[in-house]
Amino acid sequence: MSRRFEIGDALMIVDVQNDFCPGGALAVPEGDQVVPVINRAIQEALDKGIPIIASRDWHPEHHCSFEGQGGPWPPHCIRHTEGAAFHPELALPEGVHIVSKGQSQDKDEYSALGVTGLGDWLRQREISRLWVGGLAQDVCVHATVMDALKEGFEVCLMREGTRPVQPEKGIETVAEMRSAGAEVV
């Protein structure tokens, strides 16, 4: 990491769940390789005393984003299942703020901000900058970063701590995040 965490920062870990890792229902290629990168960031955040947030897809059984319901994805991250659990090696500390999304049957949420109320949670804690990593770079990380920028937060995208579903789309979305104002580190 080229820059260090400072007071006013938060670490935002997006959807590092079993179903998005190799062997999962909606595996992101090399998805599990974000874990050691993010674990180092977690340690640094703990050392600096900055808040850590972890989002998770937390779908009902017949969620509208699933193919059987006409959605684009195979069934994944059904709440309370092993697939929806965080990757077992992800070193989430006690006190991590967990944000669950995609909980309504008829609505999908890629972004960890927006209707989850996370923006208010951050503002209440005077957080102005988010360090973002997780899965997938071209879907939920992208949506989260774009929403964060729209809500006025600064964003550092930890590129090595993310992986895309589709490599070309990853390149495209990283360029889009950068031109929207995210710092890519």
User: Smaller CB distance to Zn ion: residue 17 or 42?
Assistant: 17
φ, ψ of residue 10 in degrees (nearest 5): -140, 150
Judged by CB under 5 A, the residue of 57, 109, 138, 147 near Zn ion is 57
Taking CB under 5 A as the binding criterion, the range among 32-40, 51-59, 113-121, 126-134 that sits at the site for Zn ion is 51-59
Active site includes 48?
A: no
Report yes or no: 68 and 114 within 8 Å, Cβ to Cβ.
no
What would the two tokens of residue 105 be? 């049957």
User: Smaller CB distance to Zn ion: residue 57 or 138?
Assistant: 57
Cross-strand partners of 130: 10, 155
- Count the alpha carbons within 13 Å of 115 in the hemisphere toward its beta carbon: 9
What is the closest distance, in whole angstroms, from the C-beta atom of residue 45 to Zn ion in the complex?
26
Q: Is 138 in the site for Zn ion (CB under 5 A)?
A: no
User: Smaller CB distance to Zn ion: residue 102 or 119?
Assistant: 102
User: Smaller CB distance to Zn ion: residue 156 or 164?
Assistant: 164
| Cβ neighbour number for residue 43 with a 10 Å cutoff | 12
DSSP-derived secondary structure letter, 162: E
Q: Which residue is nearest to Zn ion (CB)?
A: 57
Q: Where do the DSSP E strands lie in 15-171?
A: 52-57, 97-101, 129-135, 154-163
# binding residues, Zn ion (CB under 5 A): 2
Taking CB under 5 A as the binding criterion, the range among 28-36, 55-63, 146-154, 160-168 that sits at the site for Zn ion is 55-63
Taking CB under 5 A as the binding criterion, the range among 91-99, 100-108, 119-127, 152-160 that sits at the site for Zn ion is 100-108
Nearest by Cα to 145 from 113, 172, 117? 113
Active site includes 15?
A: yes
Residues at the interface with Zn ion (CB under 5 A): 57, 102
